[in-house]
Chain A
């Protein structure tokens, strides 16, 4: 079974632009979570989607948004990029999103904001 895939793997943007990242979960998984990883803040939870509905949200500004499609693929969008948004963005999937389930991570998208 194929793992979690994320596209693109690398992105370079400039301040003020917006960006969209994509995540395809493991086949059959319906829950997708997004995390931001930076050297200063470590790994922080952004949001979780299940069956096209946002089920949980972390403490990030409204510039960070996401959505999930009927095939469980998820996208996250960051508008009006700031230098501090430079990070590795990881998505993770699980079958139903139940807390007893393990989350499986994708390879991440590395975003650099100049």
Chain B
């Protein structure tokens, strides 16, 4: 079974600074997808960024980028120029690329990010 580990329960960053959230995963599959979701106090899960395992290039979305290390099974999220609105829980998630296997998202335990003004 796939597992996703987020070893940082809480992180803090100063406004305008850069922060990196860590995520590691365990899988025997070669085809899969990785996601970072943000959950603000409203509890709505918002997709931040996704990465296809077959793509070597790291995904970026504006101030958000990932460092995807497939061999190390590591998928960290870098937030540049942190803003107060970035404060939230961040969840790393894994999804198998097989349409015949387990199709659900497997989530990590989350990292609570605080942004200090």
- Give the interface of A toward B (CB within 8 A): 33, 35, 42-43, 45, 48, 55-56, 58, 88, 90, 92, 97-100, 102-108, 110
Which residues in B have their C-beta under 8 angstroms from that of A107? 42-44
Does B91 contact A43, Cβ atoms closer than 8 Å?
A: yes
- A–B complex contacts, Cβ < 8 Å, 8 sampled: A33-B104, A35-B104, A42-B108, A42-B109, A45-B104, A45-B106, A99-B96, A99-B97
The 4 residue pairs across chains A and B that have the minimum distance between CB atoms: A45-B104, A105-B45, A43-B107, A107-B44
Q: What separation, in Å, do the CA atoms of A99 and B31 have in the docked complex?
A: 10
Do A102 and B107 contact each other (CB < 8 Å), given the known contacts A107-B43, A107-B44, A110-B43?
no
Q: What separation, in Å, do the CA atoms of A47 and B95 have in the docked complex?
A: 15
Q: What separation, in Å, do the CA atoms of A12 and B97 have in the docked complex?
A: 38
Interface centre among A43, A55, A107, A110 (most CB of B within 10 A): A43
Min CB gap B36→A, angstroms: 12
Does B33 contact A99, Cβ atoms closer than 8 Å?
A: yes
Which residues in B have their C-beta under 8 angstroms from that of A102? 35, 47, 50
B87-101 interface with A by 8 A CB criterion = 91, 95-99
Q: Count of chain B residues with Cβ under 8 Å from any Cβ of A?
A: 26
Min CB gap B83→A, angstroms: 22
- Give the interface of B toward A (CB within 8 A): 33, 35, 37, 42-47, 50, 52, 91, 95-99, 102-110
Closest to B106 in A: A45
Does B103 contact A97, Cβ atoms closer than 8 Å?
A: yes
Interface centre among A35, A56, A90, A99 (most CB of B within 10 A): A99
